[in-house]
Copies of this chain bind each other. A is one copy, B any other.
Amino acid sequence: MSIAERRIRQKEEVRTLILSTAWKIVKEEGWQSLSIRKIADAIEYSIPVIYDHFANKESILFEIGKDGFRLLSKKVKKASEKHDNAPDQIRSMADAYWNFAFKNKEYYQLMFGLGMPCCEEKCMEEKSGFRNLLMEPINEMIEKSGKKEINACLKYHTLWSVMHGLISIIMMSSSDLTNELNKMVLDDAVEGFIKNLEK
C-alpha cells in the first residue's frame, strides 16, 4: 500500500513544484512572460507533464490566484482584529487591503485580472471568505444605525469598488499622482463611505 502512497506523494510534489516555479517566474518576470515551456524547462520535465497536473495554463494561474486570496484574507483579518469598533475596523481593513495590493502587485493583478488574459474567475470560496470579513463591521454599523433597510451586500460592493477602482487605476496608469496623494484619495473615499453609513 505504501508504494501507491509514495507515488501519490511524488505526484503531489511535482504539482507543488509546478506551482512554486510558476509563481517564481511571475514574480521575477511578470505574469505576461509566464509560459508552459518556461515552467517545464525550470522543473526539468517535458511539457506534457504539466498537463498531467493541470488542465491548461489558466488553471495554473487560477491556483496561484487562490493563494493570493488566502494571503489577502489573512492580512485583512489581522487588521480587523486590532480594533473592537466597526469604523476603526473598516479603516484598518482598507489599509491592509491597500498594503497588500502594492506589496503583492503580481498577486493583485492575477486576482483581479488587471491587464490579464484570464479570468472568468468562477466561484471561489477564498473570495467569499474575504467578502465575509469585510461585511462583518458593515453589518455591525447598520445594526447600530438602526436603519435596517440598508442593504449590507450593496454596501460591501460599494466599499470594495472604491478600493479596487482606485488601485486598478493607479496600477494601469503611469500614475501621475504621488503615492501620498493616492493614499489620501483612498482615505477620503473610505471616510465618505463610513459617514454615509453612520448617519
**Chain B minimum-CB-distance residue to A168:** B168
Task: Tell me which residues across on chain B come within 8 A of A188, comparing CB atoms.
Answer: 154-155, 158, 196
Are A192 and B196 in contact, with the CB atoms below 8 A? yes
Are A117 and B119 in contact, with the CB atoms below 8 A? no
**Of the 9-residue stretches A9-17, A77-85, A171-179, which lies at the interface with chain B?**
A171-179
Are B32 and A173 in contact, with the CB atoms below 8 A? no
- Asked if A164 is at the interface (CB within 8 A of a chain B CB), the reply is yes
CB distance from A130 to the nearest CB of B (A): 13
CB distance from A53 to the nearest CB of B (A): 25
- Asked if A8 is at the interface (CB within 8 A of a chain B CB), the reply is no
**Chain B minimum-CB-distance residue to A160:** B169
Task: Tell me which residues across on chain B come within 8 A of A158, comparing CB atoms.
Answer: 162, 166, 185, 188-189, 192
CB distance from A119 to the nearest CB of B (A): 6
Answer whether A157 and B185 are a contact pair too, CB < 8 Å, given A115-B117, A165-B164, A192-B196.
yes
Task: Tell me which residues across on chain B come within 8 A of A196, comparing CB atoms.
Answer: 188, 191-192, 195-196
- Asked if A193 is at the interface (CB within 8 A of a chain B CB), the reply is yes
Nearest 5 A/B pairs, CB to CB: A165-B165, A161-B165, A192-B196, A161-B166, A164-B165
